[in-house]
Amino acid sequence: MDNFRIHSEIRAIYQFPADVFSNAQRRQGAVLLHIVGALYMFLALAIVCDDYFVVSLEKICKKLNLSEDVAGATFMAAGSSAPELFASIIGVFIAHSDVGFGTIVGSAVFNILCITAVCGLFAGQVVYLTKYPLFRDCICYTLSVLALIAFIYDGEIVWWESLVLVLMYFGYILIMKFNSSIERCLGGGCCEKATPNGSAFAPLENDGRFHGKYSDDPRKPLLSLGSTMENVKWLVSWPIVFFLYLTVPDCSQSHREKYFLLAFFGSTLWIAVFSYIMVWMVTIIGYTLGIPDVIMGITFLAAGTSVPDCIASLLVARQGQGDMAVSNSLGSNVFDILVGLGIPWSVQTLAVSVGSKVQINSRGLIYSVALLLGSVASTILAIHGNGWRLDARLGVCALLLYAIFVTFSILIEYNMFTFVNLPMCFKE
């Protein structure tokens, strides 16, 4: 077990193709190229998820006639969590490290706190939430975290533990199937949406933008810094957009809507490719800078892979659909833990190597997972104390809580509070 931990980072980097630069060359500045490559993959994942994958899933939700909160907690959550799932798969089957697990844990906290912060700060209006969907998703998420803590406590995952996680997700889907019936049975105040109570809304224009912030006349040049960033984004991302346009049908267009299943499978393939390159680059960066894989997952990868979640939640929040935005972030967490970890672990222990165990290298992860419970409780208390409103004040509070979580997670992994990790080994 200890030998596995000592050599985990070396094992991880040598599971990928050999880098053209030596470790010494990377330390002298070549690592910047890998950082740029990882950031470019984050952009690629955001584009393919937002423009193709999530759109195809929205068409599926439309065909199934799902309500907004159920769609957010299931299909929309699964769509925007695809990068985390593939990062976990790559961590188990290719890198053989904690990078995927760390990504799932960090992404879960990012989804709860950072997405809440972004929606609160940039929704452009005060969004009021319904109590029932939030409590439903928080309870399901809390049970998922408790199961994960129990299973990783001994530092390894056996076949039945991974299977329980997958079965729990089927139970979650079952709850979603009978969501309307459960809501009717509960009745009362828990199913009511908070009201403005005299507070003024700051409504958005039909196109989802702030009043008076941009010119509505397309003939007038847009000289603002937002417009500049859009131009830069277009210039940087056009190769990605071009290849996606050639290989994946855009089912958002009416004449291509019938190809939504083809768009689903095509975008899934691209997500797998982009995720592989992303984890490869991040593994090299972490090894070069002496940062454990789990920290790279909790921080860098978690933020990058959660961009689709953030974009999707912000878009629906700007349309006033707060329940869908929050259900998307919490539903993504349930998907990340039960499917993002459960599926790769189940395949490894039940199919690839029957009866084998998946080793959890970092003992610090159990403390980070335990902090997930604190993030859930903090979010619920903050929302309740804020009158079930998603606004700027709640956003600032959530952002501060996220900073606290990241700080403590990093300090734990570096053995600042207790000994959880053996030192990294380096090889030129």
Checking if the pLDDT of 235 tops 60, the result is: yes
Q: Which residues pair with 127 in a beta bridge?
A: 390
Q: Which residues pair with 156 in a beta bridge?
A: 359
**DSSP code of residue 193:** B
Checking if the pLDDT of 160 tops 90, the result is: yes
pLDDT of residue 413: 80
Percent of the chain with pLDDT over 70: 82
Per-residue pLDDT tens over the stretch 20-38: 999 899 999 999 999 999 9
- Residues 380, 384, 389, 393: what is their CA dihedral angle, to the nearest 10 degrees? -80
Checking if the pLDDT of 191 tops 60, the result is: no
d(CA 94, CA 81): 20
Per-residue pLDDT tens over the stretch 341-384: 999 999 999 988 888 888 887 777 788 888 888 888 888 888 88
Residue whose tokens read 């700051």: 202
d(CA 328, CA 323): 8
Distances (CA, A) of 40 to 61, 103, 307, 367: 30, 18, 12, 31
Q: How confident is the model at residue 192 (pLDDT cuts 50, 70, 90)?
A: low
Cβ–Cβ contacts within 10 Å for residue 285, how many? Answer: 19
CB 14 within 8 A of CB 287: no
CB 329 within 8 A of CB 112: yes
Residue whose tokens read 């994946």: 248
What per-residue string of b and e applies to 353-363 under the rule 16 or more CB within 10 Å gives b? eeeebbebbbb
Closest CA to 191 of 128, 130, 139, 129: 130
d(CA 296, CA 97): 11
Q: How confident is the model at residue 424 (pLDDT cuts 50, 70, 90)?
A: low
Q: Is 234 left (phi over 0), alpha (psi -120 to 50) or beta?
A: alpha
Domains of the chain: 2-413 (1.20.1420.30)
pLDDT of residue 342: 92
CB 287 within 8 A of CB 22: no
CB 71 within 8 A of CB 61: yes
Top pLDDT among 221 and 146 is at: 146
Beta strand 389-390 with 127-128 is: antiparallel
d(CA 341, CA 278): 18
Residue whose tokens read 């004040």: 393
pLDDT of residue 293: 81
**Which DSSP string do the residues of 65-133 spell out, in sequence order?**
T--HHHHIIIIIHHHHTHHHHHHHHHIIIII-SSHHHHHHHHHHHIIIIIHHHHHHHHSSSPEE-BHHH
Between vectors from CA 169 to CA 163 and to CA 174, what angle results, nearest 5°?
Answer: 130
Distances (CA, A) of 321 to 69, 137, 149, 246, 269: 9, 16, 33, 33, 30
Per-residue pLDDT tens over the stretch 173-183: 888 878 778 87
Checking if the pLDDT of 7 tops 90, the result is: no
